[in-house]
């Protein structure tokens, strides 16, 4: 089985469309969407496009998806005038999504198990196998990584959440970050994803980023730049910098 792993789309429909066009040319058997379809600028359209993938797609719950569902269910809903840009973004999501969109996100799985050609049994999760918010970066130390992998049988674990591609080896197991389709921290404005089988192929898809930014600014909430676009597509943050930021956050440094 050849598997395309698409993580951290964050409502960037133009990036998703570009990646799916490439996936269609690669004889892929399955698509795993690894969490954080939402929140973002074009979430309703992104959900509609993902529904079209049918039975060959599996969906992992990301912390963003979970938080959007929780915001949708909250009484009272998030305050659109809150000081926190994330709260304002969640309020905008709730206002644009319908119950079918909410139910689609709520049905995502905590983890997905599949087997890729020559790669073998693979576990797909969002943050780590035990939490959708746990942080793994390209510089995560073995003593911090080891407990996150305890009890995992698969030799390959695919993650996202920290939006930069890497492969870590630990105890005979590979941890692969698929990168981010819609909100990458790679030092480049493009869509990043993973193809498994027969190799581990970290991929980049270029697309019309300037056009996508203009479209997302028109479609998204007023502060979409601050919330999502500035550090990923407008002035891309490089992987080394974001790894250090996330690692400091995880360790309390």
Residue spans per domain, the chain: 3-251
What is the C-alpha separation between 218 and 206, in angstroms, rounded? 21
**What is the model's pTM?**
0.96
10-residue mean pLDDT profile of the chain (253 residues): values are 98 98 96 97 97 96 98 93 86 95 98 97 98 98 96 97 97 96 98 97 98 96 89 97 96 82
Please answer whether residues 208 and 14 qualify as being in contact, where contact means their C-beta atoms are separated by less than 8 angstroms: yes
- Which CATH topology does 3-251 take? Purple Acid Phosphatase; chain A, domain 2 (3.60.21)
Detail the DSSP E strand segments found in the chain.
Answer: 3-6, 30-33, 57-59, 112-116, 120-124, 156-159, 166-170, 173-177, 191-196, 200-205
What is the C-alpha separation between 204 and 187, in angstroms, rounded? 12
What is the C-alpha separation between 237 and 184, in angstroms, rounded? 8
Length of the chain: 253
């Amino acid at each position: 089985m050849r598997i395309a792993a698409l993580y951290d789309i964050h409502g960037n429909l133009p990036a998703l469309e570009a990646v799916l066009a490439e996936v269609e040319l690669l004889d892929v058997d399955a698509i795993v969407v690894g969490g954080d379809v939402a929140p973002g600028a074009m979430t309703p359209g992104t959900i509609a496009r993902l529904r079209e993938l049918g039975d060959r797609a599996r969906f992992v719950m990301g912390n963003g998806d979970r938080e959007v569902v929780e915001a949708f269910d909250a009484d009272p809903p998030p305050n659109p005038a809150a000081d926190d840009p994330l709260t304002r973004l969640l309020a905008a999501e709730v206002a644009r999504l319908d119950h079918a969109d909410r139910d689609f996100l709520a049905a995502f799985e905590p983890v997905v198990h599949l087997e890729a050609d020559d790669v073998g049994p693979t576990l797909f999760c969002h943050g780590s196998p035990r939490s959708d918010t746990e942080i793994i970066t390209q510089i995560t130390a073995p003593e911090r990584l080891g407990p996150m992998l305890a009890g995992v049988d698969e030799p390959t674990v695919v993650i996202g959440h920290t939006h930069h591609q890497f492969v870590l080896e630990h105890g005979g197991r590979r941890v692969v970050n698929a990168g981010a389709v819609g909100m990458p921290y790679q030092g480049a404005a493009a869509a990043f994803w993973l193809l498994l089988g027969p190799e581990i192929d970290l991929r980049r898809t270029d697309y019309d980023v300037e056009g996508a930014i203009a479209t997302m600014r028109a479609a998204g909430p007023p502060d979409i730049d601050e919330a999502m676009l500035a550090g990923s597509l407008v002035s891309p943050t490089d992987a080394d910098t974001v790894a250090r930021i996330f690692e400091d956050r995880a360790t309390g440094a």
